Chains A and B, each alone.
Chain A
Amino acid sequence: MMLHFLHPYAWLLAGLLGVLIALYLWERAKRDVEVPSLLLWDSVPVTTARAARLRFEWLLALQSLLLLALIAALADPSLDANDAAKTAARTVFVLDCSASMQAREGRETRFDTARRTLRERLAALPADDEVMLIAATQQPNVVVAPTTDHAAALRELAALQATDTRANLDAALAVARRAAARGDRATSVELYTDMPRERLSPDWRDEVSLFPVGETDDNLAIEGVQVFQGRFEDPHDAHAYVAVRNFARREAHGILTLTLDDTILSRQGFSLAPRSVGGFPLRSIPGPGVLRASLEIDDALAADNLAYAVVHPARALRLLAVTDSPRLRATLARVARATPNLRLELVDPQAYHGANGADVVLFHHIAPALPLDAPALYLAPTAADGPFPSLAAAANPTVIDGDDSHPILRGLQLDLPLAQVSARQIDAPAWASPLLTARAAGREVPLVLAGERGDRRYAALALDLDTDNAIGAEHVDLLLLLLNLIDWLAPADDGIRVVPTGSVEAIDHLPDLPRTFVDPKGATWSEPAGAAAVVDARFAGEYRVSADGTQVRVLANMADAEESDIGRAEASAVLVPVSPARPAPAEARAGGFGWWLAALAAALLPIEWLAARRSA
């Protein structure tokens, strides 16, 4: 038999008992009064102290009982005859830690508001209730496993912070659902988010108690910074473009500053109409470096007011083409002449004895076994036993699918004009991914394969460029594909990477020594040698990874329109967290007798009134 109180803090009102007793003592205290004469008071009997004390105590007891009954009724007690573990409940708190939760609403951010509300909810829970805390970021993070240690949960909650990524609420709620499915306790799931209920997956809408937060749409964001610079292009010939979007439903004004490393390139004020995008081209870039775009505006969300791009330095690339086809040689020579910083060397297959310092080796038809001493591109390999085994010829291939997010296919029209181009059907090795797939002779044929073996990159192009005008004005996409392949095989690694927030970037080629990390918020930590150097870009800004003087910079941009669009006007009329009825387990409340105590208090009230009148 366990006694529970739904509102245990009501017992704080028991202090009123002290007030009541103090009032009685004050009332009992005899006060001196001067009267003209006692002549007229003879009719009033003299009181003995004992009689008075007894009567007062009796009334005090009645009033104390009335007060206690009222307080106990407010505390809403319940008796449970079952096992305590079954009656105690579990509450799973899911806290949205996405970027939009950092939006300021008045004096505090949405995240702070949600966390404060969650803290109050947690503090109000009965001590034997289990709590579980899940931080919803890109991946659900179980911050506090089910526990009755509320203090520990509060500590973990205080340490939480919102990230500059989007949150996978579905995954977080799925974890919460699994906790609820354990069945050992009645479990409720509470979600603290700025996502409107309508935008939640229908699966969750009726299962979770939603604490909505957020209203303002006052946000400008740098939607993207793009540097237009070919792999082989000189930085002076590059140009950039910055897109700024006004997500607010009113006109916005700001100042956009573009800097290259520490040099300010431009600084211009602008006005943007409601829900519109503004473009800011930068036509002249003085040299290589980190291009930084920043907005000076006092909007609600700051994380998307900064973005980075990299202007790479010019770096010559040596391409060693191993082919005996005069036509391909001519084609490649024409490409090399038209491409700055691309140095072409031609060699017959019989004369090939290694890369000899070349950055990329192009094998035409032949397919030397791996490993090689340089990254290699296998062009229409014909050997059946090479790293890219050739099965047969594939005539008239037609592109049916491609991964246009891969750097090799970026910027290409995937619907390549392949009418005049022959192809080989390659048996894709397990370590290489088919990036572009075509249909030929009723079968799917991978046209572009790319992968890493050992610590080198290798790629295969099933198309045979040894045809007339294989690369020309009509086939400019094939030219771009070829250059992209070469670029991917020998990437220009200047120690700077630009990634979107939320991505996990593995840093290779660091010396096998302890490495130091610095994140955009200035936090520094170290990891021992041998561990993989991984940057989890949860915040927008610059990460630095260094080891023995070697430094890699990872620039994280929060280019996420969904997170930047922070307006939640349609979400709810309730703009501050509202507490839904606590979904207490039915069996836990079955023994509640708060109403009986309230009825007892109501019954005592007239008795006390009559007694007080009688005593008066």
Chain B
Amino acid sequence: MPPSAFTADLPSALRLASEPRLLRTLDRLRFARQLSVSLRPGSTPVARAAQAGGLELAAHKPYTPGDDLRYVDWNALARLDERLVKTFRAEREAPLHLLLDASASMGAPSTDAKFAFAAALALCFAYVALRHGNPVRACVLGGAAERGSQLSPLLRHSQRLPELHAFLTPLAAGGPTRLAEGIDAYLRSMQLPGLAIVLSDFLVEPRRSEEALDQLRGRGHDVVALRIIGAGERDAAALPRRVRLHDAESGLERDVELTAAHRQRYAAAVDAHLAHLQTWCAARGIAFAPIDPGAGLADCLIHALPRAGILQ
């Protein structure tokens, strides 16, 4: 299998995500899709929501009885003899939910470094969110989590980013994929709707992954699905001719003889899986992007994610 440009060692990957040069790049980025139903004031303008008080004047509206007389525009009354009331744009928190798949499939093939890359990417997302005053919470789905998920502390300031770093560092890919169970458990913990980014290889039955994403949508989250797929998984050309395939999660084996036709069939199956996921997400307004760890963190953050409309 071709070696990944990214390291499979999680601590090293997280150190890469914390490099000052990369952080300077992240300083210029923000999430293109932000959703907040929170009433907690923040620095994120919320277009659909209005609030009585605020810093940014949004518009004027005719006075109706019951409006707060403090927001009557007395200058307009004096000049126009109209009673107008000032309205303001709401600036609230836009929580970011990072849902990181830690199943065994994220660790295979090891050369793809999918899990390490996904964790490093999650750290970068958290930094971007915290830089703009949005709270961040990470949830590890599957892996060593006993109840399907493992929660990080809720972070509200970028100075607490090391806590997320410390939370992610000991993690390891292992166990079955528990997207639906993990997300269900996460949603039960009364999380405020926000931007939910799912980082996974989605290598489960499609209905299971669709069920998980639907759960997020049902709770009002703005969902982003990032399919982590490396070159080793996408291309079977580097595999030997006669192989015994081991399923990283189930341990099941399958003896195959990889002829050129078989390799083409596999590539077609991978493409079909991606296409199905993309189509399904598009139909439901879920942002979707395949992410190749081999391209590197910077390339992903600067090119791939803005191109997918996730960052800007």
Contacts and interface: CB of A to CB of B under 8 A. Distances in A.
Interface of A: 27-47, 49, 52, 615-616
A213 to B, nearest CB: 55
B268 interface: yes
B109 A35 contact: yes
Contacts of A29: 242
Interface in B191-221: 201, 203-205
A31 B268 contact: no
Given A35-B245, A38-B245, A616-B260, A44 B255 contact: no
Q: Which 3 A-B pairs have the closest CB atoms?
A: A36-B105, A37-B203, A47-B257
Given A30-B255, A52-B242, A40 B273 contact: yes
Contacts of B114: 36
Given A45-B256, A47-B256, A616-B259, A32 B243 contact: yes
B266 A40 contact: yes
Contacts of A616: 241, 259-260
Chain B's interface size range is 35 or more
A49 B249 CA distance: 25
B262 A44 contact: yes
Interface in B236-270: 239-250, 252, 254-260, 262, 265-266, 268-270
Nearest to B249: A37
A27 B252 CA distance: 23
A615 B242 CA distance: 12
Contacts of A35: 108-109, 233, 245-248
Among A33, A46, A615, max chain B CB count under 10 A is at A33
B122 interface: no
14 contacts: A30-B242, A30-B255, A32-B244, A32-B246, A35-B108, A36-B104, A36-B108, A37-B201, A37-B203, A37-B249, A40-B270, A40-B273, A41-B245, A44-B262
B106 interface: yes
B248 A36 contact: yes
A192 B256 CA distance: 65
Interface in B276-297: none
Given A32-B246, A38-B247, A43 B255 contact: no
B203 A39 contact: yes
B268 A34 contact: no
Nearest to A56: B242
Contacts of A36: 104-106, 108-109, 114, 201, 203, 233, 248-249
A431 B105 CA distance: 117
A31 B240 CA distance: 7
B266 A31 contact: no
B256 A44 contact: yes
Contacts of A27: 240-242
A33 B265 contact: no
A39 B203 CA distance: 7
Contacts of A37: 105, 201, 203-204, 247-249
A120 to B, nearest CB: 45
A29 B204 CA distance: 31
| Interface core residue of A40, A615, A616 (most chain B CB under 10 Å) | A40
A46 B242 contact: no
A49 B256 CA distance: 10
B31 to A, nearest CB: 28
Nearest to A613: B260
A147 B268 CA distance: 73
Most buried by A among B108, B240, B242, B257: B257
A38 to B, nearest CB: 5
A501 B280 CA distance: 108
Contacts of A34: 108-110, 245-246, 248
A41 B242 contact: no
Nearest to A52: B257
A366 B128 CA distance: 146
Contacts of B262: 44-45
Given A33-B239, A43-B266, 20 more contacts: A27-B240, A29-B242, A30-B243, A31-B243, A33-B109, A33-B240, A33-B244, A35-B246, A35-B248, A36-B248, A37-B203, A37-B204, A38-B252, A41-B269, A42-B269, A43-B265, A44-B265, A49-B255, A615-B259, A616-B241
A260 B113 CA distance: 94
B258 to A, nearest CB: 7
B195 to A, nearest CB: 26
Residue of A27, A37, A39, A47 with highest tally of chain B CB at under 10 A: A37
Nearest to B245: A35
Contacts of A49: 255
A129 to B, nearest CB: 48
Nearest to A28: B242
Contacts of B104: 36
A177 B172 CA distance: 89
Contacts of B266: 40-41, 43-44
A37 B260 CA distance: 20
Contacts of A43: 265-266, 268-269
Nearest to A37: B203
Contacts of B260: 616
A33 B246 contact: yes
A37 B252 CA distance: 9
A34 B105 CA distance: 9
Given A43-B265, A43-B266, A38 B244 contact: no
A172 B243 CA distance: 71
Contacts of A615: 259
